[in-house]
Amino acid sequence: MIKRLFLIVLDSLGIGELPDAKEYGDEGSNTLAAIANSGRFYVPNLEQIGLFNIDGVTCGNKAKNPVASYCRLAMRSAGKDTIIGHWEIAGIISERPLPTYPDGFPEPLMDELSKLSGRPVLCGKPYSGTKILLDHGKEHVETGNLIVYTSADSVLQIAAHEEIIPIPELYEICEKVRAFMQGENGVGRVIARPFLGTYPNYTRTANRHDYSLAPPGFTMLDVLSKAGFDVLSVGKIFDIFAGNGITSSVKTVNNIDGMNKTIEIAKQNWTGLCFVNLVDFDMLYGHRNDIDGYAKAMSEFDVQFGEFRSLLRGEDVVLITADHGCDPSTPSTDHSREYTPMLVFGNHIRSGLNLNTRQMADIAATVQEFFGIEIQTKGRSFSHDVIL
């Protein structure tokens, strides 16, 4: 009955604080409400399918006859990281958050990174990805020393000028660092951050590459691919799952490119799951507290979403969600511990059904049942509630 399922993650589109948000310093966070106040926010397609009908959403206009079934999702895992969120969507609940380094990497670890790379390393502190180029880019270009830094997330980032350290060398260094950063130092991602330009006008390039920690167990991606279904990755999904369970992947340079590639995939014949991540909401706008930029990006997505909907077939299902929040209106530039939206629609899916509040891992269980597979991950399926 269901042949193709498109799972689209609007990276960081939280819809209000979780009950434990105070424990994470995120009390009062509400990403959707923050951007809905912008004059650049216009999402008629998302409104029509039911985004503003979800429990707890107080902004926007509720659709009288929403196209989708809908609910808000709570994260059971500890943390609020991209990796943690996507893993839970795919059926893994993490009991402990991934390690972070709010005071920077300890000196013994920096020494080990120098040995692994064969180069001295700079900084090692939490930093804005653009400001660090202003503060350390010139020294890097003059010396060839690696710029190493982190953020509030569970990441170790290595920045290098492409004309000083060629992309293949930077990637090789990151692979070595990824192999080393395991166990208690097992950050969610080691990220290659290449850049170009001359001081002070450095710009990061599209050659970023994420080396993720492998999931600690099997996910719905593994289950689907082992059952013979296609599992297509658009954007950073391949990196988030370290390629596990994915049968085909395409890289993207931004949200618009990501939706263009999803639109092209919608024109093709395949059977299974297309898993899409649109990272600009988080990376370019949430983390930079850019309310209008976030709102504009959502409006652009809504236009492309309308084009995408026109290509859907009778046996298609679309599920839209998010992995965490990143409220651009708060003083913090970090992710926020929020509920996330869930909208699911298609010819075989009930319209206008309010599923109230569920768990993020329920997506994984539901996807498996949609394809007639016995549930092999965490989560409780809502397939029997929504399938006609």
Alpha-carbon gap, residue 189 to 344, rounded angstroms: 29
**Pair (195, 257) in one structural domain:** no
Same domain, yes or no: 291 and 237: yes
How many Å apart are CA 276 and CA 365, to the nearest integer?
18
Q: Mean pLDDT in the chain?
A: 96
Bridge partners, 203 (sequence order): 196
Task: Compute the average pLDDT of residues 317-335.
Answer: 96
Asked whether residue 102 is domain-assigned, the answer is no
pLDDT at residue number 152: 82
pLDDT tens readout for residues 186-200 = 999 999 999 999 999
Residues 42 and 66 in one domain: yes
Same domain, 113 and 154: yes
Q: How many angstroms separate the CA atoms of 18 and 1, rounded?
A: 35
Average pLDDT for 346-352: 98
Considering 211, 232, 254, which residue would you say is the last residue of a domain?
211
Residues 292 and 309 placed together within one structural domain of the fold: yes
Which is higher by pLDDT, 141 or 96? 141
- Window from 92-101, 221-230, 292-301 with minimum mean pLDDT: 92-101
State whether 358 and 239 are in the same domain: yes
Rounded to an integer, the average pLDDT of 112-138 is 94
Q: What is the mean pLDDT of residues 340-345?
A: 98
pLDDT in tens, 240-280: 999 999 999 999 999 999 999 999 999 999 999 999 999 99
Judge whether 23 lies within some domain: yes
For residue 147, CA distances in Å to 109, 113, 239, 287, 341 come to: 14, 11, 22, 20, 37
Q: Are 74 and 54 contacting, i.e. CB atoms less than 8 angstroms apart? A: no
pLDDT over 90 percentage in the chain: 95
Residue 235 placed within a domain:
yes
Return the pLDDT at 206.
Answer: 85
177, 211, 245: which is the final residue of a domain?
211
| Residue 243, domain extent | 4-95+214-386
Q: Is residue 100 part of a domain?
A: no
**In terms of domains, do 242 and 317 share one?**
yes
Q: Name residue, tokens 């951050």.
A: 193
CA–CA–CA angle 147, 79, 328 (5° rounding) = 70
The answer to whether residues 112 and 73 belong to one domain is no
Overall average pLDDT of the 169-178 stretch: 97
Instruction: Categorize the per-residue pLDDT at 17 as very low, low, confident or very high, splitting at 50, 70 and 90.
Output: very high
Same domain, 88 and 203: no
**Per-residue pLDDT at 1 exceeds 90:** no
Query: What is the secondary structure of 189-227 as a DSSP string?
Result: EEEEEEEEEETTEEEE-TT-EEEEPPPSS--HHHHHHHT
59 and 166 part of one domain: no
Structure tokens at 219: 């996910």
DSSP alpha helix (H) spans, the chain? 31-36, 44-49, 82-89, 107-117, 131-143, 167-180, 220-226, 237-240, 255-266, 280, 291-309, 362-370, 383-386
Cβ distance 188 to 82 under 8 Å?
yes
Confirm if 45 and 306 have CB atoms less than 8 A apart. Answer: yes
Tell me, what's the pLDDT at 129?
83
CA–CA distance, 80 with 154 (Å, rounded to integer): 10
Q: CATH number of the domain at 193, please.
A: 3.30.70.1250
Poorest-pLDDT segment among 7-16, 147-156, 293-302: 147-156
Instruction: Please report whether residue 378 resides in a domain.
Output: yes
Domain tally, the chain: 2
CA distance 205 to 251: 14
Q: Does 317 reside within a domain?
A: yes
Which residue type occupies 92? I
Distance CA 365, CA 382 (A): 8
How large is the average pLDDT for residues 18-22? 97
pLDDT of residue 205: 94
Query: What pLDDT was estimated at residue 153?
Result: 85
Query: Is 194 a domain residue?
Result: yes
Please check whether residue 240 lies inside any domain of the structure: yes
pLDDT category at 123 given cuts 50, 70, 90 is very high
The amino acid present at 244, given as its one-letter code, is N
Residues 228 and 191 in one domain: no
Which of the four pLDDT bands, split at 50, 70 and 90, describes residue 128? confident
pLDDT (average), residues 333-343: 96
pLDDT of residue 374: 97
Closest CA to 144 of 121, 128, 175, 126: 121
- Give residue-wise pLDDT tens across range 286-310: 999 999 999 999 999 999 999 999 9
Q: How far apart are CA 312 and CA 347, in angstroms?
A: 10
Which of 211, 234, 249 corresponds to the end of one domain? 211
Tell me, what CATH number does 371's domain have?
3.40.720.10
Q: In this structure, are 79 and 144 located in the same domain? A: no
